[in-house]
Amino acid sequence: MKNRHSDSSKRSSAGMIIRRMPFEFSESLCAHWNPRRIEWSHMVSGASLAMPFLEPYLIRTLRKACAQIESEQLKEEVKLYMGQEGQHFQQHRKFNDTLIRNGYPELEAIEAEMQIEFDAFDSKRSLKFNMAYACGFETMALGIGHWLVRDREFLFAGSDTRVASLILWHFVEEIEHKNVAFDAYQAVFGSYFYRVYGTLYSALHVMKFSRKAYKAMLKKDGLWHNVRSRWNLLKLIARFFINMVPPTAAACLPGHHPSDIADPQWCLDWLDAHHRGDLPLAALDTNNLTMGVSV
Ligand SMILES: [Fe+2]
Ligand SMILES: [Fe+2]
């Protein structure tokens, strides 16, 4: 069993707090919240749809694992991790409800499928599987967080500030708690090959549901068979894989630990700005994401 939990020097998780963000999604919210990139809007909304099912499952899993963790510090981090994930899915729930009400009721059938699958993981799969899933999903979330921050101008410029700020807040915190599920998995199980299995399984599982959701929304828009829209979608999917394959492959190496991956400066600036409380982080200026929060 590999346990690097005592290496606290590079740990961004050490200063974790639970942030309650004041997001509101009124009925005026447009599903094409990034009018320049409709397909991207739906890809992100498709991933958002999974959060109120996936993240409560992660919380339940980590809560069970916590009973087997000896380190008081790690237990404390797991509690903060659960608190952050709890905030994430509640905010996504508000966004998703507005989206469904504003013209996409077919998403409810996909939600029902997710409920069944995650409930089955709870009742039928081992804690080792569920922890490998949690650890693996967090690996993907860390890679996505780095990508979204690095590529934020392309992905979010000119978009609805509420959605951009929701997503960027969520993934700043994914970067912040990057070590927790990994350390918990290592402390309780530690099997290398099963961790790799969990990483690939969770990535494919989440992508399956995200794809179902964005496909349903594009169909509703009459764009699923539109050549230009399909080309836009394929370019975005390629962009996703170009940005996600390297960090996922690196995370599948035996010596990987999330704390070895330096946090992006913009992410650290966001955390500092939140600490100072002097910037509207729930309403970022999406026309000035180059400056980000470093103003
Ligand atoms: Fe989250
Ligand atoms: Fe997370």
**CB contact at 8 A, 158 and 34:** yes
Output the pTM of the full model: 0.93
Q: Extract long-range pairs of 287-290: CB within 8 Å, 24+ residues apart.
A: 287/157, 287/158, 289/152, 289/153, 289/156, 289/157, 289/164, 290/153
Q: 218 alpha carbon to ligand 1 midpoint, in Å? A: 25
Can you read off the two tokens belonging to residue 40?
Answer: 């991207």
Give 4's pLDDT tier (boundaries 50, 70, 90): very low
Q: Which ligand is nearest to the CA of 81?
A: 2
Of the ranges 80-89, 214-223, 272-281, which one carries the lowest mean pLDDT score?
272-281
Task: Say how many Å lie between the CA of residue 51 and the centre of ligand 1.
Answer: 7
**Proximal ligand: closest to the CA of 170:** 1
Please write the tens of the pLDDT for every residue from 123-136.
999 999 999 999 99
* 173-214 pLDDT tens trace: 999 999 999 999 999 999 999 999 999 999 999 999 999 999
Closest C-alpha among 188, 71, 51, 49 to residue 129: 188
Mean pLDDT of the region 246-269: 95
Name the pLDDT band for 6 (thresholds 50, 70, 90).
Answer: very low
How much distance in Å is there from the Cα of 231 to the middle of ligand 2?
31
Q: What is the 3-state secondary structure (H, E, C) of 144-178?
A: HHHHHHHCHHHHHCCCCHHHHHHHHHHHHHHHHCC
Q: Is the pLDDT of residue 291 over 70?
A: no
Mean residue pLDDT across the chain: 93
What the block records as the tokens of 28 is 């005026």
Confidence of residue 277 (pLDDT cuts 50, 70, 90): confident
pLDDT computed for residue 292 by the predictor = 52
Of 48, 78, 53, the C-alpha closest to 66 is: 78
From the CA of 220, how far away is ligand 2's center (Å)?
30
Tens of pLDDT along 36-47?
Answer: 999 999 999 999
Expressed in angstroms and rounded, the spacing between residue 290 Cα and the centre of ligand 1 is: 24
pLDDT tops 50 at residue 11: no
pLDDT for residue 263 is more than 70: yes
pLDDT at 220 over 70: yes
Closest ligand to C-alpha of residue 258 is: 2
Report how far ligand 2's centroid is from the alpha carbon of 141 (Å). Answer: 6
Ligand 1 centre to CA of 75 (Å) is 18
Q: How much is the pLDDT for 2?
A: 38
User: 62 alpha carbon to ligand 1 midpoint, in Å?
Assistant: 13
CA 170 to each of CA 85, 222, 252: distance values in angstroms, whole numbers, following the listed order: 9, 30, 24
Average pLDDT rounded to a whole number, residues 93-98 = 96
Phi-psi region of 42 (alpha: psi -120 to 50; beta: other; left: phi over 0): alpha
Measure 59 CA to ligand 1 centroid, in angstroms: 10
Q: What is the CA radius of gyration of the chain?
A: 18
Distance 228 CA to ligand 1 centre (A): 32
Rounded distance from Cα 83 to ligand 1 centre (Å): 10
Q: Residue 28 has what pLDDT? A: 86
Q: What is the mean pLDDT of residues 143-166?
A: 97
Residue 82 and residue 59: Cα distance in Å, rounded? 5
Domains of the chain: 34-276 (1.20.910)
Percent of the chain with pLDDT strictly greater than 90: 89
Q: How far is the CA of 228 from the centre of ligand 2 (A)?
A: 34
